[in-house]
Amino acid sequence: MSAPIVITGAAGFIGMHVALALLARGHTVLGIDNLNAYYDPALKRDRLAQLQSHPAFRFEQLDIADRQAFPALLAREQPRRIVHLAAQAGVRYSITHPHAYVDANLAGFVNVLEAARALREAGRFEHLVYASSSSVYGANCKTPFAVGDRVDQPVSLYAASKRANELMADVYARQFDVPATGLRFFTVYGPWGRPDMAAYRFTRALLAGEPIDVYNHGQLSRDFTEIDDIVAGVMAVLERAPTRDDSRSAVLHQGIPHALYNLGGHQPEALMHFIDVLAGALGCEPQKNFLPMQAGDVHSTYADIEPMRQDFGWQPQTHIATGLPRFVAWYRSYHCV
């Protein structure tokens, strides 16, 4: 049997979709997830059920922060590529649960890097693709956000942990020749999405006839990115690891096999417009509970995706006018409403 592609966070929103895409292309996939209770684990188990019917998929319930079990598993499996999507997500949750971010996003990522280093030293590793976030841009006011912009003003611990991941990957690429590509995801939504994200939260409230919380009195915009576009970007990047003599503009430092890209819709949408499109797809009249700006939030996000266009021919295909009705259809089917 060929070496599997390892996906950490395989029971997560993006992880499930990436795993399905890899399986569809004939790859063997080893999924890893700790199935924590940040949100209802039943949704994670239901995502896994979509994968476990595939004979080329295997699952290990494991915490990447486990310094013994996780490296031992990768040493046994000898993957050549890792898609690292496991993380403690959520900006607001980081205000009340900071240690969860240190454990998963920092300690866990060191374990991923160390496992990749050991595999690389044995001559058996090709590429680490890992999830970063648009949150790293923090208080940056220049738009669109470009990979070369300053990212030293994070406004949440979550953002700081993701920026730390980028720096850590750069060190391992520099010192140990671990080829790595970081992807800064911009507000991902779609079928099987996370319940703490806007599309899911708003849909649940609207169908229940409840008001939705609208922060900064609606004066926010986000570069919403549909899951199929994210998966297409991950798949394209996975096939092409950066090298020490790489001339791509997304390789941050010449001679270091580490690249960073934005994956975003490249079309910021006003939050109020997003709500209107979602409510139209649901056939509901939204009740809005206007609130002040939330701690750790930013006013707007907007991805510069030109490096992805140049290097991979990638660009987003799905506007919210199409993506939100698709999400609503899945939500109604999954929740039988």
At 324, list the tokens.
């939100």
d(CA 197, CA 215): 13
Q: Is 4 exposed, middle or buried (0-12, 13-18, 19+ CB in 10 A)?
A: buried
Active site residue 158: yes
What is the distance between the terminal CA atoms of the chain, rounded to a whole angstrom? 43
What phi and psi, each to the nearest 5 degrees, are found at residue 288?
-115, 130
d(CA 174, CA 168): 10
Q: Helices (H) and strands (E) in the chain — how many of each? A: 12, 13
Is 19:25 a contact under the CB 8 Å cutoff?
no
CA 212 to chain CA mean position, Å: 25
Could you tell me which of 243, 183, 254 has the C-alpha nearest to residue 14?
Answer: 183
Is 16:59 a contact under the CB 8 Å cutoff?
no
Inter-axis angle of helices 320-335 and 271-282, to 10 degrees?
50
> Which residue out of 39, 130, 137, 158 is catalytically annotated?
158
Could you tell me which of 182, 100, 104, 199 has the C-alpha nearest to residue 147?
Answer: 182
What phi and psi, each to the nearest 5 degrees, are found at residue 40?
-50, 115
DSSP 302: -
Catalytic residues: 158
